Structures are given as C-alpha cells and as structure tokens.
Amino acid sequence: MELEAPPIPLLGEVREARAAWDRDTWDPRLPAAYRKVLRTFAQLQSSGAETGQIWHELADDALRFLGGQGDQWSIGLSAYNHWRLGPFLGISNEGSGATVIAAAALRSPKAIALGKRRNAVGVGVAVDAERLSSAGEVPAGPNDMSEVWRGCAGRLLTTTNVGSRVNVRLYKSAPVIDIESGNVEVAKAAIDVAIRPFREAPGGPRPLQVSVRFAAGASGQPTILRCLNQHIRESQGKWHKLYPLALHLDLPGPVEAVELIEQGIATAISARISFISIAGETSIAASESISLPGLLGLVAPAALEGLIASAKAAGVRLVPANRIDPDAVMHDIWSALNSARSFGLNMGKYGLFPLTLEQSNRVVRRIQHWFKDWTAAPVFYVDQGILTSERLYAGETVVPGIKLWLKMVATHGVHLVLIDTVDKARGWKLLKENGDPKGLLTLEQVAEIEAFGAKLGVNILWAGGLSVKQSRLLAAFGVFGIYVTSSISTPVAVSGLYIDDPGLAAARTPTFEGVLALKLQIDAGFLSARLSALKDLASRSLAAAIDDAVDDDERLAAVLVRAWRQWWKMMPPHPVRKGK
C-alpha cells in the first residue's frame, strides 16, 4: 500500500509545533513532534508498508532538525548473533541504492524463513553509508545519511566508515640545538634555556627530549654528545632522566637516508645516547598516499626494517622529529562516530592509518571507553600493514602484524573489527587466488586469523574487493560478517554527488539481482557447512540439496528457506569465546 502522505493529525501536530517554535525557540513541542514523525516512519516500514514522497520530505525535515534520528540509542552490531543468523552482510552505498538493497534483502530466504519474527537484526543486512569516489570509499554527508536512514529504517541495519585515514595533528616540535664549530658552551646554554620551562613547570618537572644537530661532516660528534649529556646530568640532578638527549638527522633524500642513519646509529652507540630524531623531505610514495606511518614517509619500507633492527640491537630508538598528537586524532574520530550514532547507525568503523601500533593503542583505548554502549569498530588495512617501534609488519609478515594488532584492540574490550584494503584504486584485494599479485591473504591465512581472533573474543568483518564466490567461501568458515559492493554493482552515468569527481568515468550502483544472488550464496555457504556437520539425516540431506542447487537461484532459494528453519531447530550451542 502506497502511503502518499502522513496522517493528517500528525501533520497538524507538526505545523502547530513549528508555529510555536517560531514564536519561542524554547518551546519543546517541535522536537517531540519530529521524534514522533521518525518513530512512526520506522514503524510503518517495519510493518512492510510503503512510504511516499511527502513522508520522505517530512522525515528529512525531522532528521535535519534533530541532527539525527532523535532517539539516541541503537542496537550495536557487535550484538549480532552470527552463529544463529549467519554472516552479516554490508553493502556500501551513499543512499541512492538503499531501497534496492532493502528490497532484495527482504526477499532473501532468511527473511522469508523468519516470518513474523523478521526484524532488521534478523535479516542481517546493512547499507554501509559511504560515497564511492574515484579515490575509494569516503565518508557520507548529511543528505546521504538521511537517504540511507529513510531506505533502511525499520528494515535493515546501517553502518558507516567515518574515515580510513585519521586527521593528523602535530605537537610543537622538540627543541633542536645546532652545534656550530664545535662550540659546546653555547650548546650547553641553549639546552638550559630549552629545559628551564619544563624543569620549573607548575605542578613539578615535565619531560622534554632535546635534539642536537651537527653540520654535515662535523668531527667529534660522539665526544660533544657525551659532554652535553654529562652537563644535563650535572645541571638537572635527580631529574636528568626526564631530559634525554637525541641526535637529530635531516635527510636530504631517500638515496642518502640509509647511509646517514647508519652513521647516526654508530654515533649514538659511541656517545651512549638512546634516541635519534629524524626529519627530511617526504618520499614520493608518502606524497602519493598523503602521509605514511612514522619514518615510512622518509625511508623505503625494506630499508627501514633493517635500520630499525640495527638500532634496536644497539639500544637506540629511531623516532620522527614530527610528533603526532593522538588526543587530537581521537577527538576527531569521536566527533565523526558520534554523528553516525546520532543517525541511529548500528556501527561506525574507524581507520587508524597512518598511526603506528603504539599511537593506535592510545586512540583505541579512549574511543572504546567513549562508546561502551555502541559498536565502534577499528579497521586494519592489509595493504598498509602496521609499523611498531621495533619493526614493520607488511607483505609477507602482515599476518603476525594483524595478530599483534588484534591483541592490542582486545585489551581495550573491542569485540568487533574490520580487516580491509584501503588503496582499492590501485587494485589491492583481500584474497589471493591463482597467484594474483594484487591479492594479499590466502584462505588459509584468513582461517588462521579467524581462529586467533576467536581466542581473544574478537569477531572480524572482512572486506576488500570480494567476489560472490569468495564471499561464499568465507561464509562457510562461519565469519562474523562480510562487506561486498563492486561485484554486485553495475556501472551508471556519473551524476549528482559524483559529478565533480575528475577521476570517475562511471559511478556504480547495486542491483536487486546482484544483492539477492550474493545473499543466496552467503547463506548457502554458511548453511551447507553448518548442516553437514550435524548428525541427523534431515540436516545432512538439506546440506546436500544446497550444494546440488548452488547454480540454480530459484531452486536454491526454496531449499534455503527450509535449511534456515532446520538450522534454528537443530543448531548446537555456540562454542564459548573468550571475552564474551
């Protein structure tokens, strides 16, 4: 049934409340009326009713006025029971395809099998509110969020990624003391001036790293550094450990970087100092990526790994001269996640690139504290790996890096994460098949990571150029959830939000047939694996029927309705996971 307009009493209530608001902005009736609009809209769609244009315009007005859905609560996605309901499915879209995605999801065998028990959580499909630009997935705006909300309210779940890259802010640079012509006394005085405000700070002494820079080829560097270190010990007394000395290196370019850092490590060893502060021109790779973690912006990955190892063996730490402010980063992330939560989304994903593991640790700890009652999911990008203070985990070593990262997030009570690729414009894909040079992980590695996450109590969402076939394979593993977009979308003319994107030849939008076919294959992979593991003949027969009908969507859909009901009848208890 098409509802062309909201009920007349509701429209009258909104008009009266608007008039009262225009007279007195402290009048509470308009916020209450708009909340009623959104609740009624969601209830109608949940019941299967269709809403018309006037309803949509009224809902948009309410969302704009309230800054979201008004009722500040939503079910966090981490509460989704994938053991009972199968893998969650997310599809990225800026809102124009939300009604198509919802229509296909509600025609899926699981939605049919649920019958009167059907709700958004049970259906287990979400529109992932994102714009698909030529640069990849970028955050959605207020108009996008409204369109997604209208298409999904009462029908589907909603998620978003508030950004793959953090907005990096830098602390004030540490003082750098230049040594001119070996004039140690001038350097001592400069060090005293730099330390004094921190030594005499209100509330007690505060730490400060002081860096020393020598002219190229200057002689006697270790001797001068030892002399300056001795001066700090004598002048600062029991507080001297608060003021470590660092050797400062300015790298002229990537070619000379390795040799200069190697020389710096030798100097640090001789001078018995523990830090080398490094600055310089960013590499071409860093410029193309906007920025890279830590020293990767200055030194090539292969070279940096060897330098970090050499420095560690010598008891020396290599640190960037530019120091990221993690507090500014986490506040930016909070603001974006809170906007997503205000629109009633069930999860907000947040990328941490280009932070190091240690910086990410600090950010994740605070974000999870702020969103205890909602699902904020950190993201690991396989094509970027992770840099720690001791080594780089990327390429062949990325799996140990993922495990290290999972252990870190688990310590902060994170129960849901996304593992994805960030540089999709360069063709990187999550899964490696048939020697694909752009594939990053084998299915065996995915299974290894899944098992590791299960021990920690961390569920994993998977994404990154997944095909329908690959999605079925992951579903058979029993993964928590999958994000798929490109393989179920068709090219369309560039228009609307994308018209000014200079790198976009065509936009993409999901199709009803593509979404439904994907959902069939995901459900088939999950139920075939689960039912075949049961001992009763009926379950095993249905598993065989699923496999037999896998290439015939009509037959498969009919079998899956029966298979879902059989699984809910016979499923064993979910294996206990740590942390749950």
Q: Are residues 107 and 254 in the same domain?
A: no
pLDDT band at 579 (very low <50, low <70, confident <90, very high): very low
On the question of pLDDT at 574 being above 50, the answer is yes
Same domain, residue pair 61 and 98? no
Identify whether 229 is part of a domain. Answer: yes
Identify whether 578 is part of a domain: no
- Asked if the structure places residue 113 within a domain, the reply is yes
**Tens-digit pLDDT profile for residues 34-81:** 999 999 999 999 988 888 899 999 999 999 999 999 887 778 999 999
- Strand (E) or helix (H) holding 545: helix 537-548
pLDDT band at 283 (very low <50, low <70, confident <90, very high): low
Residues 6+ apart with CB under 8 A from 302: none
Average pLDDT over residues 386-403: 93
Confidence of residue 439 (pLDDT cuts 50, 70, 90): very high
Residues 347 and 286 in one domain: no
Domain end point (choices 270, 304, 320): 320
- Token pair for residue 183? 């004039």
Same-domain pairing of 160 and 180: no
Does 185 share its domain with 311?
A: yes
For residue 397, give the nearest of 308, 478, 298 by alpha carbon: 308
Evaluate whether residue 489 is within a structural domain: yes
Nearest to 377 by CA among 483, 488, 262, 305: 483
The pLDDT-based confidence of 580 (bands split at 50, 70, 90) is very low
Of 77, 105, 97, 108, whose CA–CA distance to 151 is shortest?
97
Q: What average pLDDT does the segment 169-188 reach?
A: 86
> What integer is the mean pLDDT of 455-478?
97
């000395």: which residue's tokens? Answer: 245
Q: Whole-angstrom Cα distance, residue 304 to residue 432?
A: 26
Split into its structural domains, the chain has a count of: 3
Residues 155 and 196 in one domain: no
- Same domain assignment for residues 316 and 339: no
Residue 459 near residue 82, CB atoms below 8 Å = yes
Torsion angle defined by CA atoms of residues 150, 151, 153 and 158, in that order, rounded to the nearest 10 degrees: -110
* In a shared domain, residues 353 and 472: yes
216 pLDDT above the threshold of 90? no
Whole-number pLDDT of residue 409 = 98
Q: Given this model, what pLDDT does residue 4 score?
A: 66
Task: Count the alpha carbons within 13 Å of 241 in the hemisphere toward its beta carbon.
Answer: 1
> Which residues are CB-neighbours of 249 under 8 A, at least 6 positions away?
213, 260, 261, 264, 276, 277, 278, 279, 280
Answer whether the bond into residue 244 is a cis peptide, omega within 30°: no
User: Does 453 map to a domain?
Assistant: yes
Q: 577 in a domain, yes or no?
A: no
Q: Chain-wide mean pLDDT for the chain? A: 92
Residues 113 and 254 in one domain: no
Residue 418 covered by a domain:
yes
How does pLDDT run across 222-257, given as a tens digit for each residue?
Answer: 999 999 999 999 999 999 999 999 999 999 876 678
Out of 210-224, 425-439, 470-484, least confident range: 425-439
The reply to whether 392 and 537 lie within a common domain is: yes
- Mark whether 34 and 88 lie in a shared domain: no
**Residue span of the structural domain in which 423 resides:** 77-167+327-570
Residue 575 belongs to some domain of the structure: no
User: Which whole number is the average pLDDT over 3-16?
Assistant: 88
The residues with which 249 forms a beta bridge, in sequence order, are 278
Distance CA 180, CA 193 (A): 17
Q: Is the pLDDT of residue 130 over 80?
A: yes
Answer yes or no: do 385 and 300 share one domain.
no
pLDDT in tens, 262-277: 999 999 999 999 999 9
The tokens of 425 are what? Answer: 């414009």
- Determine whether 291 is exposed, middle or buried from the number of CB atoms within 10 Å of its CB (0-12, 13-18, 19+): middle
Domain boundary among 18, 41, 66: 66
**CATH value at residue 467:** 3.20.20.380
Ramachandran angles phi, psi of 254, nearest 5°: -65, -30
Q: Is the pLDDT of residue 546 over 80?
A: yes
Single out the residue in 290, 320, 350 at which a domain terminates: 320
